[in-house]
Structure 1
């Protein structure tokens, strides 16, 4: 079967599994879901400015996640992807980010690529560090772009978020909404004219 280059298999418990790679806990808790706040764009600019102060201008950085999608319910945490030449060479980027307030939370892999997750207290943010060419930042971008232009999927994702936040089961928040996320990606890949993709429904 043909698979889109950004496809990843469905893994409902992946967020719970990665907790073993945790280094520390975030400075500020995420807080509850809330309607989209136009000020999140300005919060992203503050995060970007902090990264540029640490690493210099010209950094490869983008606003991703639900706070980057107008009209989407979200927890008030700014998700940001940062690309650095060598993720494993932490001495070349981590101390400078820590000096401006970021804290390392995770050392792990996402989509087969090295990944580091940092947090910032104010504005409350996640900074995801990847190498150029990593699959996950590309997935983040197409997901955001799709939700911005597809209201039905935006509503379905918001409903999944509400159900996940209200759930009392064993799944963590991100894992509880993973099924809807996977299904949205399937629609993204099936309509991409640049890459063939055979349907890969969840088992």
Structure 2
């Protein structure tokens, strides 16, 4: 399995606790909850953000390149709905960054901030998650994790499953639009919108895990 993630940890869902949040700052601009049609520029926009991250932290550890910060980045990946061709999404690029030591903030926080990423919060009990945002050239969410992180592995599996499975991709598209409209009508936050989708996401992940042989 990628990154040697423990299967029991991987299939254990609902492990996010919103009370486990240490707020660092607040968004300068509030992103929209609108679900928009797929944009063919999303992959190239991700590449812009990825380039900034590599500039900040050095080439990924799997690279043979050298430069300032080399050793502070294990991997960077485009995840979330904008990474799935043909899937409607909020106009926000989601990025997973894996660093060798999530608790060594001196190795990545100021470097990412120097490239325009705003440090928003840390969640020590949720795999040590650190969360950054950016708003140019469009909104981006940057999730920083340590090695062998179940949450990052779920993101990868979910993305690949949606790319390969039209029925679940269509189901997720409908769910996103329905939840977006309900959340906008109720004046809800992005987290409340995410909560509305959770049951469908868990069902899709269960089917992916079953195909991989991780669950019955």
TM tier, shorter chain? Answer: 0.7 to 0.9
The structure, 1 or 2, with the larger RCO (C-alpha pairs under 8 Å, 6+ apart) is 1
Q: Aligned residue for 1:8?
A: 12
Task: Spell out, residue by residue over 1:109-134, the C-alpha distance to the aligned partner (whole angstroms, 9 max, x if none).
Answer: 57x41100100111310110001111
- CA drift of 1:4 comes to 5.5
- CA drift of 1:19 comes to 7.8
- After superposition, residues 1-203 of structure 1 pair within 5 angstroms as 5-10=9-14, 14=16, 17-18=18-19, 20-31=21-32, 32-58=34-60, 59=73, 60-109=75-124, 112-122=126-136, 123-167=138-182, 168=185, 172-192=192-212, 195-198=213-216
Report which stretch shifted further, 178-187 or 158-167. 158-167
Unpaired segments ≥5 residues, structure 2: 1-6, 61-72
1:129/1:157 CA distance change after superposition, 3 Å: same
Q: Aligned residue for 1:201?
A: none
Unpaired segments ≥5 residues, structure 1: 199-203
Would the aligned equivalents of 2:20 and 2:124 in 1 still touch at CA under 8 Å? no
- CA drift of 1:33 comes to 1.1
- The count of corresponding residues between Structure 1 and Structure 2 is 190
Using structure 1 for the length normalisation, give the TM-score: 0.86
Task: Spell out, residue by residue over 1:177-199, the C-alpha distance to the aligned partner (whole angstroms, 9 max, x if none).
Answer: 1010000001001111xx4413x
Would the aligned equivalents of 1:27 and 1:119 in 2 still touch at CA under 8 Å? no
Q: CA RMSD in A?
A: 2.1
Q: Aligned residue for 2:70?
A: none
Using structure 2 for the length normalisation, give the TM-score: 0.81
